[in-house]
Structure 1
Amino acid sequence: MSEQGHKQGAVRFGMVIDLDKCTGCMACSVACQAENNISFREDESNKLRSISWMEVFYLDNDQDYANYQYTYLPRPCMHCDAPHHAPCTFVCPVNATTRDEENGIVGHIYPRCIGCRYCIVACPYHARDFNWWDPAWPEPMEAMLNPEVSPRMRGVVEKCTFCHHRLLKARAKAFLEEQDLYEVTYMPACGEACPTKAISFGNLNDAESQVAKLAKDPRAFRLLSKLNTEPKVYYLSKHEWVRKQGDKHFQNSNGNKRG
């Protein structure tokens, strides 16, 4: 049992994003959208109601030209690790969003969701989106949809799942090969597409894994750590202002894109 009084499995999937490597190319966001059948509208200018599981924010140090610096901050779901402090799972009245005790992934059950949007309001990272319209893709894009991910209907909330379907596929392969189902590793679409290898993913409980070592790097930090949500997404940066501006951005957010 952990300090929070809940079970914790041998596997805790987490992500580390090196902001010093990120170029803001948006490959992670595009790959996420294609992999997870995220719909879009012909007019995407209304960002208050657009959908993006992996959104890339632009941060700068608020200095004049001579000292000006900037960075990009990709933001998936943080997959908070503390149930008593994970706002989305705590407020959902129908248990549509839950934390998997075996691997730490926070999922969302779309058929169970009633669209109340409590989780959207509660999430301090603004990592959830609401479907205002039925999903639609221009022809012939329907033929390009991923058959392993179900499209979401109008009136429900959706978010990053750490490409959970890839985990299921990896476990199915391990089962056929008579391997340990709980030792499988996989890579989400965002990490696979990143050209600079800024995104690492793996088991945080495995001390020998790359992601566990990077999470203990002196440059590592987590967004809004003072909230004690224990996010499993870590960031790396050698610049102290990046840590401060990251927290400031989400603290001062006016709720853009939220329902």
Structure 2
Amino acid sequence: MDTNRRGFLGAVGRVTIGAAASIAGAGEAAEAAASPGRAPHWGMVVDLRKCIGCQACTVACIMENHVPEDAFRTHVSVYELVTDGQDPAMVMLPRLCNHCDDPPCLPVCPVEATFKAETGEVLVDASKCVGCAYCVQACPYDARFVNHETQVADKCTFCIHRTRAGLLPACVETCVGGARNFGDLNDPESPVSKLLAAHPVSVLRPEMHTNPNVYYIGLDEVLDGRVTGEAAWHPPFDPGASVAEVH
């Protein structure tokens, strides 16, 4: 985690801190100009060998981004993997927006509320979004939803409000096993670039050719298309419920 943080801080130092973000993600301020030189291109490498399914990332994201009840910007799906001749195994699949370089959610937006930031994030301008949900339907990763409180499209933003302040995304900061790694894909010395160079990686839904910026180490091929389904953890509907009441 310390190496991950040092590499990230080196990259974020090259970016000018932007103005305030909009509710659903970020507004035009998300494309604030980078400082002279190359801008970072943020990406994430998830090492499934280290994910223990603790859902700390899920909880951290909900708390950090004020995600409404029964909605998720990120979560960890849990599957039982059965292989011939072997005992069943529980496997974890952390999921979030893949911040694609060719995002199918972008061209379907009739008001151009969805846009690609200079630093790689796919974002939503809440001031433009009309809540039509075309982008929700177009996303091949089931990573978008219409926020029932704001009535606009909502999704993971790689915690742009944190990265522009020199902080790691909340899910990366709180990952107990160090499974989530975040950094500059343009920098060959960043933790994520080193992981990509050192290990075979996979992406979800490769047949969609979206050029995602979220990569997985140790992803079983039978899971690369598993991007739908109920989250393994749900927040309590009763705001006063204790942890023991969460199943």
TM-score normalised according to structure 2 size: 0.73
CA contact (8 A) 2:108 2:135 kept: yes
* Counterpart in the other structure of 2:195: 214
* Counterpart in the other structure of 2:68: 39
* Counterpart in the other structure of 1:130: 146
Structure 2 residue corresponding to 1:197, chosen from 154, 162, 178: 178
Shift of 1:168: 2.5
CA shift digits 1:140-168 (9 cap, x unpaired): xxxxxxxxxxxxx1x21100000000122
Shift of 1:10: 3.5
Shift of 1:59: 2.5
Structure 2 residue corresponding to 1:243, chosen from 191, 195, 220: 220
Q: Structure 1: how far apart are the matches of 2:230 and 2:136? A: 11
Counting only pairs closer than 5 Å after superposition, residues 168-179 of structure 1 correspond to structure 2 as 168-170=164-166
Q: Structure 2: how far apart are the matches of 1:51 and 1:57? A: 14
* Counterpart in the other structure of 2:25: none
Q: Structure 2: how far apart are the matches of 1:219 and 1:38? A: 33
CA contact (8 A) 1:62 1:68 kept: yes
* Counterpart in the other structure of 1:94: 111
CA contact (8 A) 2:68 2:147 kept: no
Counting only pairs closer than 5 Å after superposition, residues 3-18 of structure 1 correspond to structure 2 as 10-18=39-47
Shift of 1:65: 8.6
Structure 1 residue corresponding to 2:98, chosen from 47, 53, 78: 78
CA shift digits 1:77-116 (9 cap, x unpaired): 100012xxx111111111111001x201111111211011
CA shift digits 1:159-188 (9 cap, x unpaired): 000000012223xxxxxxxxxxxxxxx410
CA contact (8 A) 1:219 1:236 kept: yes
* Counterpart in the other structure of 1:150: none
How many residues matched? Answer: 194
Counting only pairs closer than 5 Å after superposition, residues 150-169 of structure 1 correspond to structure 2 as 153=150, 155-169=151-165
Q: Structure 2: how far apart are the matches of 1:11 and 1:60? A: 37
* Counterpart in the other structure of 2:19: none
Report the RMSD for the aligned CA atoms in angstroms: 1.9
Structure 1 residue corresponding to 2:130, chosen from 114, 133, 155: 114
TM-score normalised according to structure 1 size: 0.70
CA contact (8 A) 2:204 2:225 kept: no
Shift of 1:218: 3.0
Q: Which moved more, 1:225-234 or 1:63-72?
A: 63-72
Shift of 1:130: 1.3
Give 4+ residue runs of structure 1 displaced > 6 Å after superposition. none
Please tell me the residue identity of whatever aligns with 2:207: K
Q: Secondary structure at the match of 1:190?
A: helix
Question: Counting helix residues as a fraction of each chain, which structure ranks higher?
Answer: 1
Q: List alignment gaps of at least 5 residues for structure 1.
A: 1-8, 41-49, 135-152, 171-185
Q: Does 1:103 align with 2:103?
A: no
